[in-house]
Amino acid sequence: MEIKKFKTESKRLLDLMANSIYTNKDIFLRELISNASDAIDKKRYLALTNTNINTDDLKININIDKENRIITISDNGIGMSEEELNQNLGTIAKSGSFEFKKELDTNSNVDIIGQFGVGFYSSYMVADKIEVISKKYDSDDIYKFISENEEGYFIEKINQDIDFSTKIILKIKENNQDFEYDKYLDEYYIETLIKKYSDFISYPIYLKKNDKEEIINTMIPLWKKDKKDIKTEDYDNFYLNNYFDFEKTIKTLHYKIEGNSSYTALIFIPSKAPNNYYSADFKTGISLYSKGVFIKDNAQELVSDYFRFIRGVIDSEDLNLNISREILQIDNQVNNLKKSIDKKIKTTLETMLKNEREDYEKFFDSFGLQLKYGCYEKYGLNKDILIDLLLFKSSHNDKYTTLKEYVERMKENQKEIYFASGDNIDNIKRLPQLEKILNEGYEVLYLKDHIDEFMLEIIKNYDNKEFKSINKVELSLLNEKEQEIINKQSEDNKDLINKLKELLKDKVSDVKLSNKLISYPVCISNDGDISIEMEKVLKQYQNQIIDTKKILEINPNHDIFNSLLKAYENNENLDDYAYLLYNQALLIEGLELEDVYEFNKILNKIILKSIK
Ligand code: ADP
């Protein structure tokens, strides 16, 4: 007989499981019961269109043989062929364990086991010999998978009368000083585990206790139970055990809709985004049932992308049962469901924002970026749905503000919504252009996410007020008198300004005196549609080099300006000063120096000159 080796990646995972010091070995039972339940779901699903498939007496059996240290879990689900035993149990590439393994590669903390459905392999935490006997529903052949250690396994065809489709046979490890394995041979302990983790499984789980078979689980799925019979704790346990999260949800919705589309929903809004949330392999955690029959997981067609952070169960009353999983997406009833779910999420978030601000802000910290993408996507098609759910940091205080709140605080003469962008709030607060506008009593939104400016570009305005970068604000509009003074200063110093323009002609499109600055000598602003922040993002993500039209603004009330005048009059190193000031302005804007060597050279030259 040929012994097959586990694939390397499986092997690593198995070693880890077998030698795990992880305390919560209990989850192996939850995983195997859940596999059994999935297998029955699959058979029931096939039976919807194939009347030859027998779906009577669907059940899961658990048996304990203390003497031989064996616990078995059997089901009459879909079963596995030889090839499937090989594929499904010999490799982890397809299972939940795969996600787990990926995480393991980046994070060596063993405790993450609890975060994933590690599936079948979790058996290796408690057993030193594992056998699986299985018969596929449409075949008479029975196969046995045997694995005695983490090295490999073999599969043989057997002749036997069986009254199940799949049976998992675990030989429980001997007690050692670190762990008492005997408890997995104790019916009462196993009973508590079933009640704790698998109560809602919709098929009966039989356990032999004192030689009598007994159904342990209540079987009514949580969402089908009456709300008044459910404790917060039940929801929490359901969520934590099914979605492998460590943290309780920020909101749980359990409701029933009758009418146009009738359904029961149990929806969770998580507190934190999973690690892979903003990556392509994240899948929406919504399962679809139809009158209690499982249809599919990851039913992303049931919720708009911008709300894809929700998890839970939708149990529809009126889905066409013959529907194939593929055509779900275009089904009208599914569309109605989606509309209704979207609406519910939106009103829930709105209510949270209004009445539970702290929770909403926590939610926004995790999923705000998703809402922003939602506003931006599809050329802003959904912006009106989402815009009032957005939060921004601003100069008002250190807390979040909505756009509505911002507008309510706007000064009487203010016509636009001001914003400043940068890599982080601290850097934004230090932007030279900000000082004056804040001094004048205007509020400025602080944008730190890459998507922000692109999104505002799409949103364009709020409550008829346009968004305006502080780089482009014409303070002259705000303060005419000051502008007059600046105009005069510009006229008086036009020779110097022209000279600077000439010296920097390859770098900036204009040099001008500014009325935006107080304590800083210079700043960079820009002209045109692409802002400096957008330039940075495009460069980082799309490797697109875009040269925004930069303007060097000089503070005429700063000592540096007087020094520049002197340098100009004495014809002394003006080119060097101009160069340094321009680069200084780049740096404070969060841009890179154009040429580090040149910058150092000129700086050193100035230092040498000044220390004489
Ligand atoms: P997951 O359940 O996350 O896919 P597992 O490692 O637990 O990962 O299982 C791998 C695969 O083996 C399952 O996807 C399923 O196809 C198959 N499988 C496991 N247990 C059973 C069972 N009791 N009956 C039929 N198929 C099963």
By DSSP bridging, strand 152-158 and strand 4-5 are: antiparallel
Across residues 418-436, what is the average pLDDT?
93
- Pick 91 or 286 by higher pLDDT: 286
Cβ atoms of residues 13 and 100 within 8 Å: yes
The single residue listed with the structure tokens 């694995």 is 147
According to DSSP, residue 138 is labeled T
Structural contact between residues 475 and 515, judged by C-beta atoms closer than 8 angstroms: yes
Q: What is the DSSP string of 460-510?
A: -EETTEEEEETTT--HHHH-HHHHHHHHHHHHHTHHHHHHHHHHTTTT-SE
Residue 199 has pLDDT above 90, yes or no: no
φ and ψ at residue 391, rounded to 5 degrees? -125, 150
pLDDT attached to residue 22 = 54
HSE-up (13 A, CA, CB side) for residue 137:
20
pLDDT higher at 114 or 13: 13
Task: Note the pLDDT of residue 364.
Answer: 98
User: From CA 191, how far away is CA 498, in angstroms rounded?
Assistant: 87
Mark residue 291 as left, alpha or beta (left: phi above 0; alpha: psi -120 to 50; beta: remaining).
left
Per-residue confidence band for 112, with pLDDT thresholds at 50, 70 and 90: very low
Mean pLDDT of 231-254: 91
More confident residue, 168 or 26: 168
**Lowest-confidence range among 166-170, 185-189, 469-473?**
469-473
Q: How confident is the model at residue 117 (pLDDT cuts 50, 70, 90)?
A: low
User: Can you list the domains of the chain with their CATH numbers?
Assistant: 4-215 (3.30.565.10), 222-360 (3.30.230.80), 391-469 (3.40.50.11260), 480-611 (1.20.120.790)
The finding on whether 120 has its CB within 6 A of some atom of ligand 1 is yes
Instruction: Give the pLDDT of residue 257.
Output: 93
Q: Would you state the pLDDT for residue 562? A: 95
pLDDT of residue 211: 84
What pLDDT sits at residue 7?
72
φ, ψ dihedrals at 434, nearest 5°: -80, -35
HEC string of 4-37? Answer: EECCHHHHHHHHHHHCCCCCCCCHHHHHHHHHHH
pLDDT digits 0-9 by tens, 80-110: 999 999 888 877 645 555 555 565 565 554 4
pLDDT of residue 114: 46
Q: Distance between CA atoms of 262 and 259, rounded to whole angstroms? A: 5
**Residue 171 is inside which H or E element, if any?**
strand 166-172
> Among 17, 46, 120, which residue has the most ligand 1 atoms within 8 Å of its CB, making it the best to mutate?
120
Atom 21 (ligand 1): residue with closest C-alpha?
A: 35
- Tell me if 166 CB under 6 Å of ligand 1: yes
Among 299-303, 367-371, 530-534, the least confident range: 530-534
Q: What's the first-to-final CA gap in the chain, in angstroms? A: 90
Q: Which amino acid is at 502?
A: E
CA of 126 to the centre of ligand 1 (A): 18
Mean pLDDT throughout 342-364? 98
Please tell me the predicted confidence (pLDDT) of residue 115: 47
Regarding the beta carbon of 119 and ligand 1, being less than 6 Å apart is answered yes
251-285 pLDDT, tens digit per residue, is: 999 999 988 788 999 999 999 998 889 888 888 89
pLDDT tens across 522-556, in order? 999 887 777 888 888 887 777 777 777 789 999 99
Instruction: Quote the ligand 1 centre to 88 CA distance (angstroms).
Output: 6
CA-to-CA distance for 391 and 368, rounded, in angstroms? 8
Residue 581, both tokens: 């000031």
Report the alpha-carbon distance of residue 166 to residue 169 in Å, rounded: 10
pLDDT at 480: 79
The first and second tokens of residue 498, run together, are 């022209």
| Highest mean pLDDT pick, 65-79, 149-163, 331-345 | 65-79
Q: What percent of the chain has pLDDT over 90?
A: 60
Task: Tell me the β-bridge partners of 465.
Answer: 462
The whole model's pTM is what?
0.74
What is the predicted pLDDT for the residue at 116?
Answer: 52
Crossing angle for the helix pair 532-542 and 451-459, to the nearest 10 degrees? 120
φ and ψ of 460, to 5 deg: 70, -60
Section 329-347 average pLDDT: 87
| pLDDT 10s digits, 499-521 | 999 999 999 999 999 988 999 99
Q: Chain-centre distance of CA 564, in angstroms?
A: 51
Say how many C-beta atoms besides its own lie within 10 A of residue 604's C-beta: 10
Q: Which residue's alpha carbon is at the smallest distance from atom 20 of ligand 1?
A: 35
- The yes-or-no verdict on residue 322 having pLDDT over 70 is no
Provide φ and ψ at 72, rounded to 5°: -120, 145
d(CA 421, CA 430): 11
Reduce the DSSP state of residue 576 to 3 states and report it. Answer: helix
Residues 305, 152: Cα–Cα separation, whole Å: 42
CA atoms of 4 and 154, how far apart (whole Å): 6
Amino acid at 177: Q
Of the candidate ranges 113-122, 546-555, 561-570, the one whose mean pLDDT is the lowest? 113-122
* Phi/psi at 331 (5° precision): -75, 140
7, 10, 38, 294: residue to mutate for ligand 1 pocket, most atoms within 8 A of CB? 38
Mean pLDDT, the chain, integer: 88
Q: Report the separation in Å between the CA atom of 95 and the middle of ligand 1, taken as the mean of its atom positions.
A: 7
In this structure, the residue with its CA closest to atom 18 of ligand 1 is 35
Q: Determine the average pLDDT of the residues in 431-450.
A: 93
Helix and strand numbers, DSSP H then E, in the chain: 21, 23
Instruction: Tell me the per-residue pLDDT of 42-51, one tens digit each, with 9 for 90 and over.
Output: 898 888 888 8
Q: Does residue 556 have its Cβ closer than 6 Å to ligand 1? A: no
Mean pLDDT for the stretch of residues 310-338: 74
- The closest of 343, 533, 367 to 453, measured between CA atoms, is 533
Q: Which atom of ligand 1 is nearest to the CA of 165?
A: 24
573-609 residue pLDDT tens: 999 999 999 999 999 988 889 899 999 999 999 999 8
Residue 138 has a CB neighbour count (10 Å cut-off) of 12
Ligand 1 center from residue 109 Cα (angstroms): 25
Q: What is the pLDDT of residue 329?
A: 54
* pLDDT for residue 149: 76
| Residue 269 and residue 235 in contact, taking contact as beta carbons nearer than 8 Å | no
- Report the DSSP pairing between strands 461-462 and 465-469: antiparallel
What mean pLDDT do residues 298-324 have? 84
75 lines ligand 1 (CB under 6 A): yes
Does ligand 1 come within 6 angstroms of the Cβ of 364? no
Classify each residue of 298-330 as buried b or exposed e, where b means 16 or more C-beta atoms within 10 Å of its C-beta.
ebebbbbebbbbbbbbbbbeebeeebeeeebee
- Return the residue matching tokens 């018969």: 135
